[in-house]
Amino acid sequence: MLSPSDRRGQKNQEVIGTYRMQTHEMAAAAHGFYSASEFDLTHLPDGVVQNSVEVGRACIAAAHRNGRVLFLFWRGLAVYMMLTKKRYLFGCCSLTSQNPDEGRLVMDYLQANGYVHSELQVLPLPVCACYPEDYIAQKTLPVKIPRLFRIYLEYGAKVCGPPTIDRRFKTIDYLVMLDIAALDQPTFRMFFR
């Protein structure tokens, strides 16, 4: 993403943000979906996978981290979804942590507040599981959901199952899915007009 025009109308060609995006077709022709390196995506229906765009590794330059730039990112995603004629957007939302207690407490919060998908469920690959299925957090920590993760949830994205631990990036990752056909009308019009 390039920065918007400055006040004098001159173009500033500074790159201020990036977002990795790939369709099912792109993933099939290359190395697959990144999410499949952490989650077992085989339980997702073919119709969902084939009509999806995977996104990840959003990065915005520190001086430009504001609502306007995030809005432009989302508008760009909407244009890409329309151009590729895809319905679902999915990818990993991360906590900067390696603490299974934190991963479990956030998952409990997501479940208690209706943010877990009731139909589309995936499991972590065994080597990536954040915690065993019957794990109970050993200590109480404040639940902190990162801003971008919260925004996905506010727009209607749902978590598709328990999290993974990504040892390379030192994060706890949750697979989230957004069905653009299920967006409320004001949100849909805001991004897809």
Whether residue 20 contacts residue 77, with contact meaning beta carbons closer than 8 Å, is answered with: no
The pLDDT value given to residue 70: 76
Hey, CA dihedral for 82, 193, 77, 120, is it positive or negative? negative
Distance of CA 56 to CAs 11, 12, 93, 136, 142, Å?
A: 27, 25, 8, 29, 26
Ranges of each domain in the chain: 17-192
Which tokens belong to 53? 């765009």
The pLDDT value given to residue 10: 53
The pLDDT value given to residue 73: 79
**C-alpha to C-alpha distance for 191 and 36, rounded to whole angstroms:** 28
**C-alpha to C-alpha distance for 19 and 76, rounded to whole angstroms:** 10
Which tokens belong to 188? 């849909």
CATH label, 17-192, candidates 3.40.630, 3.60.40, 1.20.1070, 1.10.3820: 3.40.630
Q: 124: how many CB neighbours lie within 10 A of its CB? A: 20
Strand 171-179 and strand 39-40: pairing?
A: unpaired
Q: Report if pTM > 0.95.
A: no
13: left (phi over 0), alpha (psi -120 to 50) or beta: alpha
The pLDDT value given to residue 12: 65
Kindly give the confidence (pLDDT) of every residue in the chain, 193 residues in length, as a single tens digit, with 9 standing for 90 and above: 444 444 445 566 777 777 788 999 999 999 999 999 999 999 999 999 999 999 987 777 777 777 777 778 788 888 898 899 999 999 999 999 999 999 999 999 999 999 999 999 999 999 999 998 888 888 787 888 998 899 889 989 999 999 999 999 999 999 999 999 888 888 778 777 7
The pLDDT value given to residue 94: 93
Within 85-146, residue ranges assigned H as helices are 100-112
Whether residue 1 contacts residue 18, with contact meaning beta carbons closer than 8 Å, is answered with: yes
Which tokens belong to 62? 């520190």
